[in-house]
Structures are given as C-alpha cells and as structure tokens.
Amino acid sequence: MALIPSQVLRAAILLSYFSILCNYRAIDMPAHQTYGGSWKFLTFINLVIQAVFFGVCVLTDLSSLLTKGSESLEQERQLRKLIGLRDWMMAVLAFPVGVFVVTTFWALYLYDRDLIYPRLLDNFIPQWLNHGMHTTVLPFIIIQMRTTHHQYPSRIFGLIAVCSFAVGYVLWMCWVHHVTGVWVYPLLEHISPLAKVLFFSCLTFLVSVYYVLGEVLNTYIWDPSSKSKSNS
C-alpha cells in the first residue's frame, strides 16, 4: 500500500501549481507588460497545461469516488469522458511538453544561461519559483505516470497532435517577433534564419521523441508482458 494515496498526491500537486502560477503572475516584470504577456513563454504555457491536467485528474478522482457503486449509465459515461480527456492530455501535452521544458531549459541554462534565462531575471524570480517552473514539473509528471495507467492514442494520431502543438507555438513565437521585432528567447537573436529553421525543426522532433518516450514508459510500467520480455 502506498504511504500517500495517489488521489492526495494529485490534489497536492494541483495546489502547488496554483501557488506557482499565482506567484509568477504576481511578479511585476517588464516582459509581462509587452505583447503576448506571459503567454509568449512556453514555461508559462506548460504551467497552465500541467495545472489543467492535474485539475482534470482530481476531477476524475472525485467523479470515480462519487460513481462507485452507482448503476447510473449517464454517470459512467461522463466518467469515461473524463478519463479519456485525462489520458489524452497526459499523452499529447502534459508529458511531452513538460519533459521538453525541463530538459531544454536546463540544457541551455548549463551551456549559457543568458541564452534562455538572463541573469536580470534573478532580480524578479526567486530560485524556489524558478525550480517550481523548470524542475518539479518532471518528478510530478513521473509520479502521475507511475500511479495511474493512461490509455495512449494511436502513435500516428498522437504524433500529429503533439507536432501540431509544437508548430503552433513556433508560429506564435514568429508572430510575436513580427509584431514586436524582438524574439521571445535571447538565443534566437544570435542565429541566422536558416539556423532558426533547423533549430525549430530539431525542437519539434525532440518533443515528438518525448511523446514516444512517454508511450514506452507507460507501457513498461503498466504492461506486465513488456517487463517479462525485458527480463527474458
């Protein structure tokens, strides 16, 4: 038996995301006052995705408790819809985007932090909040994957969905640059147009890899046959 019920963990994670979002939105940063506001940053978009996802998880838990022992077909149908939404969000958004944000941010930060997170931001964002936005996302999503089985869509449809999200964000960044003349991330100011195309293509490929990784991990954790094959 788990030391802490998974339902309690999900509720705690949801509250932590609300706290992170509220503290981040309360920061008076110049970037928040420019075109696009916080929504031009993938970190903020990811925080919203994670908060909505864990909100759906908590709502699914509550609905499951309320419908337990019930013979209402309508309640069962609504619960299946919630579970389907939860699983789709995990597969297409929460896992690949969350892992992408954490790994890409810290890889660029360790290489040259000014490319992704200029030192000036230390005057606005405390270290604990930075880790809340760029570190704890990974263990939170791993906890969710480890405690709940998720039904992934077919790989082709899943990849189309996650690539659509990636391309949509790239187009959004380009539009912000078109309107303001400034790229969202300092890194993009230092590379040529061709390098930008290659960079965006590599990032889209990477988030697709994370989608497949999530699918593989989910299968490994919850499909006994996959473990028996790996041990044979």
**Does position 182 have pLDDT exceeding 70, yes or no?**
yes
Q: What is the pLDDT of residue 231?
A: 47
Confidence of residue 180 (pLDDT cuts 50, 70, 90): very high
Q: Give the residue among 169, 160, 148, 151 at the shortest CA–CA distance from 208.
A: 160
For residues 170 and 204, is the Cβ–Cβ distance under 8 A? yes
For residues 41 and 105, is the Cβ–Cβ distance under 8 A? no
Give the list of residues 6+ apart from residue 92 with CB closer than 8 angstroms, or none.
153, 158, 161, 162, 165, 211
Q: What is the mean pLDDT of residues 202-230?
A: 86
DSSP structure class, residue 39: G
Q: What is the pLDDT of residue 229?
A: 52
Assigned token pair, 222: 């919850």
Mean pLDDT across the chain: 91
Assigned token pair, 159: 């990849």
Q: pLDDT tens digits, residue range 49-85?
A: 999 999 999 999 998 888 776 667 777 888 999 999 9
**Does position 13 have pLDDT exceeding 90, yes or no?**
yes
Q: pLDDT tens digits, residue range 105-136?
A: 999 999 999 989 989 899 999 999 999 999 99
